[in-house]
Structure 1
Amino acid sequence: MVTMLSRPGCHLCDDARAVILRVTGELGVAFEEVDITTDPKLEEEYGEQIPVTLVNGRQHDFWRVDEGRLRAALA
């Protein structure tokens, strides 16, 4: 499972989403996106790192998603 923590209007989130959707789609891995602006705790913890990518609930990347690194983590 890949989770992306994001916020509306974030251009880095748009870039990360495209990579994550491509990789998870090809590998058949579940993907969810969480808007941190709906949760003050998430906003406080991750607000400066958005987007944050979690793989199986553990932080994998922030700001940018490296496609090769994500594929390796999901292999």
Structure 2
Amino acid sequence: MTTLINDLELDDDAIAALKALCKETRMKPSKAILAAIIAYRRMNANDRYLGTGELDTASDHPSVSKRAVN
């Protein structure tokens, strides 16, 4: 876990939250971080596209549009 923490440069609060999440969900740290990243991307996609009532991806990079759909 320390290699993962060093690579991401997490602060003490984030480390404590990650440890609590891993303990509560019994996930490995890498899987917990991946789940958090996916949830963050979906939240951004919901705010960006569902809040406007339209899905205009013309100005987006293709990877952003793909993440919004996933």
Higher strand share: 1
Greater Rg by CA: 2
The structure richer in helix per residue is: 2
Q: TM-score normalised by the shorter chain: which range applies?
A: 0.3 to 0.5
TM-score by length of 2: 0.32
Larger RCO (CA within 8 A; separation ≥ 6): 1
